[in-house]
Amino acid sequence: MTILSDDALIDPAFGPRTLCHARSGEWMVEGIGFLSGFALRWVRDAFFEPLLKLAQSDLDAFALIEKLAQDVPVGAAGTIAATACPMQSDAWRQPPLSFLGLDLNAPGRALGQVARSVMEAGAFLANHHLEKLEALSGQRYDTLQFTGGSSQGTLWPQIVADVTGREIEIPEVKETTALGCAMLAAVGAGLFATIDEAVDAMASPIERRVVPNPENVALYQPLKTRWSEVIGGVRDLGDATGLEPIWRPAGARNTEL
**CA atoms of 194 and 173, how far apart (whole Å):** 21
Residue 252 lies inside a defined structural domain of this protein:
no
pLDDT at 33 over 90: no
Residue 150 lies inside a defined structural domain of this protein:
yes
Residue 253 lies inside a defined structural domain of this protein:
no
What pLDDT does residue 214 have? 98
Rg (CA), the chain: 19
Residue 254 lies inside a defined structural domain of this protein:
no
pLDDT over 70 for what percent of the chain?
A: 97
Determine the structural domain holding residue 169 and report its residue range.
2-241
What pLDDT does residue 144 have? 96
pLDDT in tens, 177-194: 999 999 999 999 999 999
Residue 47 lies inside a defined structural domain of this protein:
yes
Residue 178 lies inside a defined structural domain of this protein:
yes
CATH of the domain at 50: 3.30.420.40
Is residue 43 within 8 Å of residue 114, measured between CB atoms? yes
What pLDDT does residue 155 have? 96
What pLDDT does residue 251 have? 58
**CA atoms of 242 and 124, how far apart (whole Å):** 26
Residue 248 lies inside a defined structural domain of this protein:
no
pLDDT in tens, 63-109: 999 999 999 999 999 999 999 999 998 888 889 999 999 988 877 78
pTM of the model: 0.92
When divided into structural domains, the chain yields a total of: 1
Residue 43 lies inside a defined structural domain of this protein:
yes
